[in-house]
Structure 1
Amino acid sequence: TGGGEVVRYMARHPADKVAKAVLIAAVPPLMVQTPDNPGGLPKSVFDGFQAQVAGNRAQFYRDVPAGPFYGYNRPGVDASEGIIGNWWRQGMIGSAKAHYDGIVAFSQTDFTEDLKGITQPVLVMHGDDDQIVPYENSGLLSAKLLPNGT
């Protein structure tokens, strides 16, 4: 949710507090599918994440980095057990309640108006093979909504 936090901060504070920013693989403007956001992911995807966190959080924090998060599920890619283990460690030391609620925060918070109100230069970087945050509905859309976005 880091990119969302940057966008929300910049939209709510005077431009003299932040000169510029970079959004890297960030969730804005909105991840969940709605009538106004048909390119978003179905809510059932995020409900599934919450069910996994509630049901077996330890396994969830192993499965996500071992597969789609780092692209280790792609043919010919060697998974790094160190990176997977570190992701698991970070997940397990965090608050289960915060992680559960955070899924709603990063998937259902609409940053569209925030993006439109940011006047500072913002560089948007996002890979077109992101399996977690779809490129077309996040990076491309954010750059278009930002008045001074690249």
Structure 2
Amino acid sequence: MSELPSTIKHFFPPATSVSGISTVMSPQGGVRAIAQAVIQCVGGLKVGAVGPGVVYATSDIEFHKALRLDREVVGRAWRRQLGELMSVGDAHHAHIMLFVDSNASFYAFTDPDGKLYSLGRFAQAMEALLLGLDYGMPLEADG
């Protein structure tokens, strides 16, 4: 993935390029490098709006301006199966926390019910949130 798909490109400013995210999407870079790449590409952006969607409500997304190390505790329940997760943004009026792992997979943690959903790569995750697509089943926490 080097650019945004046409289904969501209009949500982002015209000059937005996410190619910087794909350049570090490898396990060698680690989760911190991937999270930092997300912030360098889209940090501080506010995109989308809450409203009716395809399956779920659409979401607004606000990307962090800097790494949020204070949220590491949220991902501990899934750490054995996913490794470390780093927060890169919030969605749905801050009721959803957006995380990334060391394989550049993105996750949505729904704060009201404490569930974690695997959303795939950056483009897939953005489509799911911005268009209100099905997130799939929540991941089971480590036993």
Same-fold call, TM cutoff 0.5: no
* Greater relative contact order (Cα < 8 A, sep 6+): 1
Q: Rg larger in 1 or in 2?
A: 1
Taking structure 1 as the reference length, the TM-score comes to 0.25
What TM-score comes out, normalization by structure 2 length?
Answer: 0.25
